[in-house]
Chains A and B, each alone.
Chain A
Amino acid sequence: DAGVIQSPRHEVTEMGQEVTLRCKPISGHNSLFWYRQTMMRGLELLIYFNNNVPIDDSGMPEDRFSAKMPNASFSTLKIQPSEPRDSAVYFCASRNTEAFFGQGTRLTVV
Chain B
Amino acid sequence: GENVEQHPSTLSVQEGDSAVIKCTYSDSASNYFPWYKQELGKGPQLIIDIRSNVGEKKDQRIAVTLNKTAKHFSLHITETQPEDSAVYFCAAIRGGSYIPTFGRGTSLIVHP
Which A residues form the contact surface with B (CB < 8 A)?
A: 4, 31, 33, 42-43, 45, 48, 50, 56, 91, 93, 95, 98-104
Contacts and interface: CB of A to CB of B under 8 A. Distances in A.
Interface in B60-112: 89, 98-100, 102-105
Contacts of A104: 42-43
Dominant secondary structure of chain A at its interface with chain B: strand
A81 B24 CA distance: 38
A42 B104 CA distance: 5
Given A43-B89, A48-B98, A101 B105 contact: no
A65 B37 CA distance: 28
Contacts of B102: 42-43
22 contacts: A31-B98, A33-B99, A42-B103, A42-B104, A43-B89, A43-B105, A45-B99, A48-B98, A56-B99, A91-B43, A95-B98, A98-B46, A99-B34, A99-B46, A100-B45, A100-B46, A101-B36, A101-B44, A101-B45, A103-B41, A103-B42, A104-B43
Q: How many B residues are at the interface, by size bracket?
A: 10 to 19
A104 B36 CA distance: 15
Contacts of B103: 42
A91 B102 CA distance: 14
Contacts of B99: 33, 45, 48, 56
Given A43-B89, A50-B98, A103-B41, 20 more contacts: A33-B99, A42-B104, A43-B44, A43-B102, A45-B99, A56-B99, A91-B43, A91-B44, A93-B43, A95-B98, A98-B34, A98-B46, A99-B34, A99-B46, A100-B45, A100-B46, A102-B43, A103-B42, A103-B43, A104-B43
